[in-house]
Structure 1
Amino acid sequence: MTTIYVDADACPVREEVYRVAGRLHVAVRIVSNGSRPIRGPGLPNVQMIVVSAGPDAADDWIAERITAADICATADIPLAARCLARGARALAFNGQEWTSGNIGGALAGRILNQHLRESGINQGGPSALTQRDRACFLNALDRLVHAARRGAPIPLKLRPPEPD
């Protein structure tokens, strides 16, 4: 049985997850740390999980429980890598699917950006989620749920994003 795990801290697409999960009858685990409690939607297929407020506590909870039949929605690249290592699927909030073919570059870019920030070079934060990003997320989540249910293998590489 497929479950969608949501790294809920700063997650802008919870409503989209609820919509897809409700339509496809999929269980959802919304995982957050104790520092910012998140109000649940009151849906029978959605379980709110509050873990300790320690660093990476929500990530650890998800990574310890996710299986190859599951999907993780997260903006956290290291968590996405941990989910992929367990055979699960991982999806960024903008609809980008993480795969073994693109996660290494994303991890390297994260380390580089962290080094630049520590060096005093301000890179700015992530761009705001657009309506197109939300639509991409909805489509990708729907596709991933169906693929997970079929037991389809996770592709190594995806086609590059379309130019704007």
Structure 2
Amino acid sequence: MIIYVDADACPVTEDIIKLCEPYQLTIILVKSYAHFSHRLYHEWIKEIYVDSEKEAVDYKILSMINKGHVLVTQDYGLASLALQKSCYVIHPKGFQYTSKNIDQLLASRYHSAQLRKQGGRTKGPKPFVQEDHERFQTVFTKLLSTII
């Protein structure tokens, strides 16, 4: 099992590393060169950098991810495509994407985009708070315990 992280703006990267450390599960952080870091990680954590083109991180993750792998992403579109590859997908706010909720999430994103195209305004995401970290840690730990 491999844990993939859409790491450009992932607020739970440190949580993932901490929770995977006892198992030394392979973690692959995929990010654009715009988010380059000199940080050194454990040997079981890999960083892959891609161009800063729109969707480059998504395309790279999709080219590597396979059935049974885990993906952490805020991107509903990427989550939808990973679910089609029979992957486990978790949002950093602490909910798991499933075949039962992905259509509603994509529809909501589409309607918000249409509203913005027409000059309307939509609310952005709420700030990421400690409760979000705790919810993510709970869901991620539960997922790991079922698939390890």
Between 68-77 and 136-145, report the one with greater CA deviation: 136-145
The structural deviation recorded for 1:122 is 1.6
CA RMSD, aligned part only? Answer: 1.3
Q: Is the 8 Å Cα contact of residues 71 and 144 (structure 1) preserved in structure 2?
A: no
* Structure 2 counterpart of 1:106, one-letter code: L
Matched, 1:55 2:91: no
Number of aligned residue pairs: give it: 148
* Structure 1 counterpart of 2:140, one-letter code: L
* Structure 2 counterpart of 1:147, one-letter code: T
1:5-42 CA-to-partner distances (Å, cap 9, x unmatched) read 00011111111011011123211000001222244452
Q: Is the 8 Å Cα contact of residues 40 and 48 (structure 1) preserved in structure 2?
A: no
* Structure 1 counterpart of 2:15, one-letter code: E
* Structure 2 counterpart of 1:24, one-letter code: Y
Pairing of 1:8-87 with structure 2 (within 5 A) = 8-87=7-86
The structural deviation recorded for 1:120 is 1.7
The structural deviation recorded for 1:83 is 0.7
Matched, 1:128 2:116: no
The structural deviation recorded for 1:80 is 0.5
Q: Unpaired segments of 5 or more residues in structure 2?
A: none
Q: Is the 8 Å Cα contact of residues 30 and 48 (structure 1) preserved in structure 2?
A: yes
Percentage identity across paired residues of the two chains: 27
Distance 2:45 2:130 in 1: 24
- 1:102 paired residue number: 101
* Structure 1 counterpart of 2:74, one-letter code: A
Q: TM-score of the superposition, structure 2-length normalised? A: 0.94
Q: TM-score of the superposition, structure 1-length normalised? A: 0.85
1:71-90 CA-to-partner distances (Å, cap 9, x unmatched) read 10000000001110000010
1:76-129 CA-to-partner distances (Å, cap 9, x unmatched) read 000001110000010001011000000010001010111111222221311111
Q: Is the 8 Å Cα contact of residues 9 and 33 (structure 1) preserved in structure 2?
A: yes
* Structure 2 counterpart of 1:52, one-letter code: D
